[in-house]
Amino acid sequence: MQVTALGAIVGLVLAIYLIIKKVHPAYGLILGGIVGGIVGGAGVTGTVTLMMDGAKGIIPAVLRILTAGVLAGVLIETGAAAKIAETIVDKLGESNALIALSLATLVLTTVGVFIDVAVITVAPIAIAIAKRANFTKTGILIAMIGGGKAGNMMSPNPNAIAASDAFKLPLTSIMAAGIVPAIVGLIVTIIVSRKLAKKGSAVEQNEISSTFEEKPGFLPAIVGPLVAIIILSLRPLFHISIDPMVALPVGGVIGALAMGKIKNINKYATVGLAKMSGVAILLLGTGTISGIIANSALKDVIINSLNTIGLPAFALAPIAGILMSGATASTTSGTAVGSQVFGPTLLELGVQPLSAGAMIHTGATVMDHLPHGSFFHATGGSVFMDMKERLKLIPYESLIGLSMTIVSTIIFGLLR
C-alpha cells in the first residue's frame, strides 16, 4: 500500500511538534506515524501494518543496544571507562582533554557499541574532566558526539549492517569506506569542540558521578573493549562472522573477569540494561514512523526535485541519507530507510553498490540528532543538559556530519 507524500510530511511535522511540546518522544513518533498514515490514505488497518513492519525492521538494532548494556555497565560501574579516559587525558595532557574525549567515544563506537551507548558510557568521565579543566557541557558533549559520529562510520554497527544488507555487500566494505570520512570528522570535531569549550553552562559538583568502585589498572580496564574488537575482527580476517550482539556482552563479561569483578556481573548488566532501555524504546518509536516513510510517495517527490535541479545521479545517495536521517532522527533508521527506499533507484541510475551504500551511510549522520529521535535526548541527558541548550548544538553536529558526507561524496561520487 502507498502513503501519499503529504501524509508522510504531516506525520513527521506532527511528531516533531509533539516532542518539542514535551510529549514522550516514543509516543510522539507513534502518533505522528498514525496520523501520517491515515492522512496519507493507508487507512487505520493499513497504517498499523506499515508501522508494525517498520518497528520489526528496527528490532536488530534494539537487540544490539540492549546487549551492549553489559559492556557499558561493566565499563561504567567498575570505573574502567573512567580509567581509560583518564589515561588518555594524562598521556595527551589536560590541554588536550577534549581530544581525549573524542578519541574515547570514537574507540567505543568503532568497537561496535551503539553511539548513544558510547556517549552515555563516556559522559561520567567527561563531566569529571569538565569540572577539573573548567570546560562547559557544550564543549564536552560536542567532543563526544563528534567522536561517536566518526567512529560510527567505520564500525560493525546496525547502520553499516543495514547498508551492507540492502546493497548485498560485505560488512567490512562499508566499514572500510568510512575510514577517511571518519578521520576528517574527528578533525572537525576537535576544532569545533575547542571553539565551544568555554561556551554554555558549567558542570555542577552534584552532577559528578561517584558510583563506581576503586578504579582498576589501565590494562585490566581495556581488556573488555579489546576482546570485543578482536572478536569483531574475526569477520574480516578469518571470515568468522560473530555479531556485535554476541561480541559486546562477551567483551563485558571477560572485562569483568580480568578486573576481578565477575561476581558483580549481574549488577553491572542490570545497570547497563537500565541505561539502554530508554534508548531502545525510542528507537522502536522511530521504526514505526519510518515504516510510513518507506511506503510513501515522498521518495518520488525527492527524485523529481533532484532531476529538476539537474544534480548528478550519485547526489541522490547522500541526499537520501540526509533526508531520511532527518525524517527519522536516527542514523540506523536513516541508513536503513534510505538504502531500502532509494537503493534500487540508485542502482538503476548506474551508481555502484559500494558508492551508494557509503554515501547514504555518511549522509545519515547529518541530521540524526534532531529532537524527535533518541540520540538527541540520550546524549543531552547524559550530561544533564536542558532542552534549550541541547538545541543549540544541532548546527555543530550537522557540520561534523556534513564534513564526513562531503568527503565520502567526493571519494565515491566524483572520484569513483
Which range, of 73-82, 244-253, 261-270, averages the lowest pLDDT? Answer: 73-82
Q: Residue 13 and residue 361: Cα distance in Å, rounded?
A: 24
pLDDT number for residue 241 = 81
Question: What are residue 211's phi and psi, to 5 degrees?
Answer: -80, -20
Q: In which region does residue 208 sit, left (phi positive, over 0), alpha (psi from -120 to 50) or beta (all else)?
A: beta
In the structure, what pLDDT confidence band is assigned to residue 352 with cuts at 50, 70 and 90?
A: very high
Q: What is the mean pLDDT of residues 370-383?
A: 84
Which range, of 38-42, 103-107, 299-303, averages the lowest pLDDT? Answer: 299-303
CA angle 114, 119, 123 (to 5 degrees): 150
Tell which wins on pLDDT, 41 or 313.
41
Q: What is the mean pLDDT of residues 248-268?
A: 94
Which residue(s) pair with 296 in the sheet? 3
Locus of grid cell 554515501: 359
Write the pLDDT tens digit of every residue in 71-91.
888 987 888 877 876 777 778
On the question of pLDDT at 235 being above 80, the answer is no
pLDDT number for residue 29 = 86
Question: What are residue 236's phi and psi, to 5 degrees?
Answer: -75, -30
Q: Residue 239 and residue 297: Cα distance in Å, rounded?
A: 40
On the question of pLDDT at 257 being above 80, the answer is yes
Question: How large a percentage of the chain has pLDDT more than 90?
Answer: 42
pLDDT number for residue 210 = 58
Q: Buried b vs exposed e over 329-340: b needs ≥16 C-beta within 10 Å?
A: bbbbbbbbbbbb
Other CB atoms closer than 10 Å to residue 191's CB: what's the count? 13
Contact (CB, 8 A) for 72 and 120: yes
Q: What is the mean pLDDT of residues 23-42?
A: 92
Write the pLDDT tens digit of every residue in 104-122.
899 878 876 778 878 887 8
Tell which wins on pLDDT, 356 or 289.
356
Contact (CB, 8 A) for 16 and 372: yes
pLDDT number for residue 65 = 73
Tell me the whole-structure pTM to 2 decimals.
0.79
Q: What is the mean pLDDT of residues 39-56?
A: 94
CA distances from 370 to 90, 167, 305, 325, 387 (A): 34, 27, 24, 9, 12
Minimal CA–CA distance to 111: which of 262, 256, 250, 239? 250
Contact (CB, 8 A) for 412 and 359: yes
Question: How large a percentage of the chain has pLDDT more than 70?
Answer: 98
pLDDT number for residue 199 = 92
In the structure, what pLDDT confidence band is assigned to residue 245 with cuts at 50, 70 and 90?
A: confident
Other CB atoms closer than 10 Å to residue 223's CB: what's the count? 18
Q: What is the mean pLDDT of residues 36-61?
A: 91
Residues 6 or more apart whose Cβ sits within 8 Å of residue 257: none
Write the pLDDT tens digit of every residue in 111-152.
767 788 788 878 888 888 888 888 999 999 999 999 999 999
Amino acid in position 354: L
* DSSP character string of 280-340: HHHHHHHHHHHHHHHTBTHHHHHHHHHHHHT--GGGHHHHHHHHHHHHHT-HHHHHHHHHH
Q: What is the mean pLDDT of residues 57-69?
A: 79
Measured between its terminal Cα atoms, the distance across the chain in Å is: 36
C-alpha cell recorded at residue 164: 551492507
pLDDT number for residue 255 = 95
pLDDT number for residue 209 = 66
Residues in the chain: 416
Q: Residue 382 and residue 388: Cα distance in Å, rounded?
A: 15
Tell which wins on pLDDT, 334 or 232.
334
Q: What is the mean pLDDT of residues 368-394?
A: 88
pLDDT number for residue 213 = 55
Write the pLDDT tens digit of every residue in 181-213.
999 999 999 999 999 999 999 888 777 765 555
Q: Residue 41 and residue 407: Cα distance in Å, rounded?
A: 40
On the question of pLDDT at 103 being above 60, the answer is yes
Q: What is the mean pLDDT of the chain?
A: 87
Q: What is the mean pLDDT of residues 170-179?
A: 89
Minimal CA–CA distance to 176: which of 163, 189, 191, 186? 163
Question: What are residue 338's phi and psi, to 5 degrees?
Answer: -60, -45
Q: Residue 245 and residue 256: Cα distance in Å, rounded?
A: 18
In the structure, what pLDDT confidence band is assigned to residue 40 with cuts at 50, 70 and 90?
A: very high
On the question of pLDDT at 341 being above 60, the answer is yes
